[in-house]
Amino acid sequence: MTPEEINTLWRSLSRLYPAWSLPIDMFVSPSTWRLLGADLSASIVKDRRARRVATALAAAPAEALPVMADMARINVWRTGDIFRTVAVGYITLPITLAALLSEAAPDMLRTAVMSNIGQTAYWVIVLAATPIVYFCGMWRAKQLQWAIEYYKTGAIQPLPEKASETRDEYKIPRHLNPTPAAPRTIRMEKTGRLKAFSSHMRVALFGASGGIGRALLDLLVADPHVSEAYAGARRPAAAAHSKVIPFRFELTDEASVADAALQISADGALDLVIVATGVLHDAALQPEKTWRDISPDAFARAFAVNATGPALIAKHFLPLLARDRHTVFAALSARVGSIEDNRLGGWVSYRASKAALHQVIRSCAIELARKNKTATCVSLHPGTVDTALSAPFQRGLAPERLFTAAFSADRLLSVIDGLSPAESGYAFDWNGARIPF
């Protein structure tokens, strides 16, 4: 993280604990009184401010947590030192001076106070209020440190998500959200045109009838570099463009995938293969909210579509990639397949199947690097797209977090265009940032 990113995130966290609100919290938040001797850890864990801190940290890069913990510790030391200094200067010294004067010249002190009663009251209030303000700041610093330390132990959970893997309850700066530490970011053009490929591209698209698949097909046929676009679907539609060649396949039926490979390979090698298939829910499958919802049937269905199907396509279509020019095999995945980024739980079968897909991609990429030096094999996260897959989970999602299929498709092609064999075997999001496995 850069210094600017660190400071931005720190300001976002510290604003959750303003000093002025401490007197109010003393009456409504039991965790405010933790240092008085009672063990109120449970109250802190449930405190909404602490859970907002957890939400912010869950959305930030992985390396942000130890940095924020160190900054919180330093902040506690700093505010504690300032409070003690102010307490001595504004309370101890004035009281000591007043005590000495009351012993040495009580009549003079009484006369001075009574003759300047207004100014005396003003300075008493100032001298008493200033340490209280700094005490509130010190206490808030401690509360922020507790929240971060409890989050490190796993005791505090982020606030519930309103839709998919987004952070809408507490906004993190756009440049920090939602990607964790990304060792590499793909350089992208502002348009999704495939300039890095040959001028007569042959493309195979699986899942052309889906929301993202249709948007990808529209962009592919409009790209002057694409000469042929094979559009695969369970029930392929009639070709709406001269470049489009429909073909039928069943994702869970290897024979249909093998037949498609035989048909397409007859016309020559491929430059690009995109697998735009996947399932999150259907009549027999719903994302799990708890481990009590786990079922063998749900796991079998999720793995068959999200992992086994793309693996079968890779088996039969990786050998069809051209060996004398730049080529790419890309399978649509999801950020929730990242084990490192999983801080919310739930959606067990979907997460596991996408994590399995990442393993498929990595293993295939290793073998591909030995057999085809110019080829790249990756998985791509399209973002939260307004399609049937995400429709039941869009409630409460901020409009800027919900992409149109056309926007997502354009970004995905931009990422694909910026890939090189050095990126093979990894997962990237729609903005070109690497997603940790």
Residues 6+ apart with CB under 8 A from 237: 209, 246
Higher pLDDT, 384 or 335: 335
Find residue 175's DSSP bridge partners: none
Least confident range of 18-32, 114-128, 176-190: 176-190
Taking the C-alpha atoms of residue 306 and residue 304, their distance in angstroms, rounded to an integer, is 6
The answer on pLDDT for 126 being more than 70 is: yes
DSSP, residue by residue, 59-80: HS-TTHHHHHHHHHHHHHHHHH
At 152 the pLDDT is: 75
Contact 226, 194 (CB under 8 A): yes
Q: Please, what is the average pLDDT of the chain? A: 80
What pLDDT is recorded for position 251?
Answer: 93
Output DSSP code: residue 401.
G
Question: CA 25, CA 21: separation in Å to the nearest integer?
Answer: 6
Provide the residue ranges of all domains of the chain, joining segments of one domain with +: 3-159, 176-435
Helix/strand/coil for 268: coil
For the question of whether the overall pTM of this predicted structure is more than 0.85, the answer is no
- Helices then strands, counting H and E runs in the chain, come out as 14, 8
More confident: 254 or 384: 254
Contact 143, 32 (CB under 8 A): yes
Please give the average per-residue pLDDT across 412-433, as a whole number: 92
Tokens 């209020």 correspond to what residue?
Answer: 129
Per-residue pLDDT at 234 exceeds 80: yes
Output 173 or 55, whichever has higher pLDDT.
55
Among residues 332, 337, 384, 390, which one has the least CA distance to residue 208?
Answer: 332
pLDDT over threshold 90, residue 277: yes
51-65, 122-136, 402-416: range with highest mean pLDDT: 402-416
CATH T-level assignment (fold) for domain 176-435: Rossmann fold (3.40.50)
Q: How confident is the model at residue 175 (pLDDT cuts 50, 70, 90)?
A: very low
